[in-house]
Structure 1
Amino acid sequence: MIATNQGLNPAFHEAVCALAVNTWDKKKKNRHIVRGSVILPKSVGKDKKILVIAEDEEAEKAQEAGADLVVGSDEIPNIVSGAFEFAKFDLILTTPEMLKALRPAARKLRGLTPTVKKGTVLTDIAAGVKKFRNSVEFKTTKTGVCNVGLGKLTLDNESLKANLLAYLSGIRTFKPEDTKGEMLQKVHLTTSRGPSVEIAIKELKALGIK
């Protein structure tokens, strides 16, 4: 599926999926910026740092599940003021009960703000911590492009294929309502340091993207 260059150490490089997506809004005559996260079935080989904002029993469960740090509502004023260093985390998870308390911090957290749409507001926080260890975040550019790592080159081809299909199926669920036609326009696979290869959308659909 992905051929590595001779001399390329697979432990330090990853397979990358470069997408051109259709997010055109015909009425407003511009593109939507689409962002979200997709859960992959296989490990991407990165140590993702997860912050959980929860209290009481859910906080204890998150800690046991392996969250890197668990804080309660008492830290929210510090997030708002900038005293709490949240930027070192890749993901922030919370519970529905904490949403109202988190509203003042939304502008500060920006893309890390937990939302129902992104799936980062969870009733089962422990399961969420374990699941999101294998998640990837994406955001389309103004020209409708986004690049996402699918895993280290130490993964076998079947695992990389499973991650690719899961990612493409997942990103299609974020298609804006105002966008007409197929969301996926072009799909290229490449490595951290290597040439890219285009894969036809028809071939990907035949492989099982939803």
Structure 2
Amino acid sequence: MTFSDALTVLKPIKQDSVILVFAEGKFAEEARASGAQIVGGPELVKEVEEGKHKFDKCISTPGMFPSVTKLARILGPKGLMPTAKKGTVTEDIPGVIKAQTAVFDVRGDKNGVVHTIIGKISWDQKDIEDNYKVIMDQMKVLAQERFVKRDWIKNIYISSTQGPGILLINNP
């Protein structure tokens, strides 16, 4: 069974994320002050439609959302379409920007295999361990909510990019 969800980590994995916010007025000012790199209203919708911007995260205010829905065919397949379910359609722009830097998507394939990043080799061991613990706690909650089996984790491997997988835990 495949699944997809968003997890929050203590130390952001991708620290150079480009955040785009569809907002006007005071919300646009808050977005800029909170660190959003690309901020705009209806003109930004047109620019995104034309492919003028590259970004990793996308947030919208409820007032701008009707205009943003025109971009569903562009943003949807990339997993960037703002939605109320993900919490990316909101008036709390600063809170969401802060949260989005520590959030990443995780997907499980049809065989139940989840590939995810827990850190970088240049990080302190404690940061990697903390992210691992937080991710595992959240994965356990997801599993209890969605699946019946108790032994949903069979094995845990760790590896560097293009490196060999090393068995951490066998039937945890």
Query: Residue 85 of structure 1: CA displacement?
Result: 3.4
Gaps of 5+ in 1: 1-30, 204-210
> Conserved in 2, the CA contact under 8 Å of 1:62 and 1:126?
yes
Query: Residue 196 of structure 1: CA displacement?
Result: 2.0
Query: Residue 119 of structure 1: CA displacement?
Result: 2.9
> Conserved in 2, the CA contact under 8 Å of 1:136 and 1:148?
no
> Conserved in 2, the CA contact under 8 Å of 1:45 and 1:152?
no
Which of 66, 88, 108 is residue 120 of structure 1 equivalent to? 88
Match of 2:104 in 1: 136
TM-score (norm 2): 0.80
Match of 1:7 in 2: none
TM-score (norm 1): 0.67
Match of 1:64 in 2: 33
Which structure carries more strand by proportion? 1
* Structure 1 residues 72 and 191: alpha-carbon distance in aligned structure 2, compared to 1, 3 A threshold: same
Residues 1:160 and 2:96 are matched in the alignment:
no
> Which of 1 and 2 has higher RCO (CA within 8 Å, sep 6+)?
1
Gaps of 5+ in 2: none
Match of 1:99 in 2: 65
Residues 1:200 and 2:166 are matched in the alignment:
no
Match of 2:13 in 1: 44
Listed one character per residue, the Cα deviations across residues 83-118 of structure 1 (whole Å, up to 9, x for unaligned) are: 1335x2111112233333322322221111112332
Letter of the structure 2 residue corresponding to residue 127 of structure 1: G
Which 4+ stretches in 1 moved above 6 angstroms?
none
* Structure 1 residues 74 and 38: alpha-carbon distance in aligned structure 2, compared to 1, 3 A threshold: same
Moved more, 170-179 or 38-47: 170-179
Listed one character per residue, the Cα deviations across residues 11-60 of structure 1 (whole Å, up to 9, x for unaligned) are: xxxxxxxxxxxxxxxxxxxx23x223222111325411111112211111
What's the Cα RMSD here?
Answer: 2.7
Moved more, 165-174 or 188-197: 165-174
Which of 57, 75, 78 is residue 44 of structure 2 equivalent to? 75
